[in-house]
Amino acid sequence: MPTPVIGIHDLSIATTHYVLDHATLAHHHGVPVDKYHYGIGQEAMSVPAADEDIVTLAATAAAPILQRHGTDNLRTLLLATESSVDQSKASGLYLHPLLGLPNTCRVLELKQACYSATAALQLALGLITRDPAERVLVIAADIARYDLDTPAEATQGAAAAAMLITADPALAALGPITGIHSTDVNDFWRPNYRTTAVVDGKLSITAYLDAVTHAYTDYRNRGGLPLEEFAAFCYHQPFTKMAYKAHRHLLAAHDLPTETTDLDRALAATTHYNRVIGNSYTASLYLALASLLDHTDDLTGQPIAMISYGSGSVAELFTATPAPGYQTQLRTTTDIINQRKPIDYHHYRTLHTTSEPTRDGHLVLPRETASPYRLAAITNHNRIYETTGHPPTA
């Protein structure tokens, strides 16, 4: 039997209720705003309301997909996150009542910093190769949180990307060849007792560049395309300037031109969403793909390099090729971004420093988010979610 074409059938993005612009942050940090706008390529960051977390972001992203495609043959949900809500229970299980998922759907959570959604895609490809009738829901959801008043604070953000993975995908086929590089490096990590990441910013940049170079070498050794044959390059974007640094590094390593116009042609369309949302860790790469598809005329049949990096570290390079007619499947991510409410600096800092109960505290959260999905309370160690809507139906 021939191997089926497998890939992304649908892609849906969600982000938070609030947004903080970098001009406000620059003012309070006492740095020129150009450092943020041009130096790191960021204009604004998504900020979660008190009643939002990765479960509510994941539900908000996944609901439109289930509305469009139903749950038939949906036998696996893979939720990839670095900002989980529990040390044992998979966050995806909270989506059952919120989204009306079938009991015949296995649920699993994956973690490897900003890389894990890419691993989830690879697992989905394996499951669907075994039974092409099955469909897998992959959700990448993260809240990037660093200590206040540190250089990394300007690279915070939050979002979720939900993807329905199927045979004969309507959006983009995922190629069978991937390049991988894994190594032990302490560039960014978050011990269990911390709500914010520990990061060695400069090391994280060189670790990212090294890992991407090695992943591309592995990809080529396994028969992958040369750089010149890609129509565009979607990188993990902890800040959008990082994509430019990485692409320049990769091109230079292969004696290819690195003029600004070459970089812009390959990257500019991939940066629109991450530039105003900030780092969404494992969702970031898939926000780059959504941005590219929404901001480029026609990429049908043209290979796109997908370059995933998760600190710690794992990098993986693979190919996505837009399917004929993919443009009819595109969504309105810009509206989702524009619906966010500006937050004032004091409120932002209050939300940042307010933590959930660490023992058996009782927390009731008034409605703050405009999303239909929200965290209503934490009581007796239980997280109570609620929805104002009905679970999506086919």
Residues annotated catalytic, as ranges = 82, 114, 236
Q: Which of residues 40-69 bind ligand CAA (CB under 6 A)?
A: 40
Residue 112 is given by DSSP the state B
Taking the least distance from each CB to ligand CAA, the nearer of 36 and 219 is 36
C-alpha distance from residue 235 to each of 1, 96, 148, 309, 382 (Å): 34, 32, 26, 8, 37
CB of 259 to ligand CAA, least distance (A): 16
Q: Which is nearer to ligand CAA, 99 or 185 (CB)?
A: 185
d(CA 70, CA 391): 11
The one segment of 7-15, 38-46, 353-361, 378-386 that binds ligand CAA by CB under 6 A: 38-46
| Start-to-end CA span in the chain (Å) | 31
Contact pick of 13, 49, 152, 180 for ligand CAA (by CB under 6 A) = 152
Q: Identify whether the C-beta of residue 279 lies closer than 8 Å to the C-beta of residue 239.
A: yes
- Cα separation of 65 and 84, whole Å? 22
- Give the ranges where the chain is alpha helix by DSSP (H): 22-29, 33-34, 54-69, 95-99, 116-130, 201-221, 240-253, 260-267, 272-277, 284-295, 333-338, 345-353
Task: Answer yes or no: are the C-beta atoms of 331 and 11 closer than 8 Å.
Answer: yes
> Interface with ligand CAA includes 213 (CB under 6 A)?
no
Half-sphere exposure of 48 (CA within 13 A, CB side): 31
Indicate which single residue of 112, 155, 291, 369 sits in contact with ligand CAA (rule: CB under 6 A): 155
Kindly tell me which of 311 and 333 has the beta carbon lying closer to ligand CAA: 311
Q: State which of positions 234-293 bind ligand CAA (CB under 6 A).
A: 236, 238-239, 242, 279, 281
User: Site for ligand CAA (CB under 6 A): which residue of 50, 61, 199, 306?
Assistant: 199
28 binds ligand CAA (CB under 6 A): no
Question: What per-residue string of b and e applies to 15-32 under the rule 16 or more CB within 10 Å gives b?
Answer: bbbbbbbbebbbeebeee
Residue 89 marked ligand-binding: no
Q: Give the range of 35-43, 224-232, 270-278, 361-369 binding ligand CAA by CB under 6 A.
A: 35-43
Residue 248 CB, shortest distance to ligand CAA, in Å, is 10
Least distance between ligand CAA and beta carbon 50 (Å): 24
Query: What 3-state class would DSSP assign to 153?
Result: helix
CB of 277 to ligand CAA, least distance (A): 13
Which residues, including other chains, have CB under 8 Å from residue 23's CB and lie 6 or more apart?
33
Interface map 79-118 toward ligand CAA (x if CB under 6 A): -----------------------------------x----
Long-range contacts, 29-32 (Cβ 8 Å, 24+): 29/149, 29/153, 29/154
At residue 12, the 3 state secondary structure works out as strand
Q: Closest distance between ligand CAA and the C-beta of residue 264, in Å?
A: 15
Question: Using CB under 6 A, which of 94, 216, 219, 309 touches ligand CAA?
Answer: 309
Range 199-215 burial, b when 16+ CB lie within 10 A, else e: bbeeebbebbbbbbbbb
Q: Does 204 contact ligand CAA by CB under 6 A?
A: yes
**Member of 35, 111, 249, 347 binding ligand CAA (CB under 6 A):** 35
201-221 and 240-253 helices cross at what angle (nearest 10)?
Answer: 50
Q: Is 279 annotated as a binding residue?
A: yes
CB nearer ligand CAA, residue 154 or residue 164? 154
Binding-site positions for (3S)-3-hydroxy-3-methylglutaryl-CoA read: 146, 245, 279
Binding-site positions read: 146, 245, 279
Residues contributing to the site for ligand CAA (CB under 6 A): 32, 34-35, 38-40, 114, 151-152, 154-155, 187-188, 199, 201-202, 204-205, 208, 236, 238-239, 242, 279, 281, 309, 311
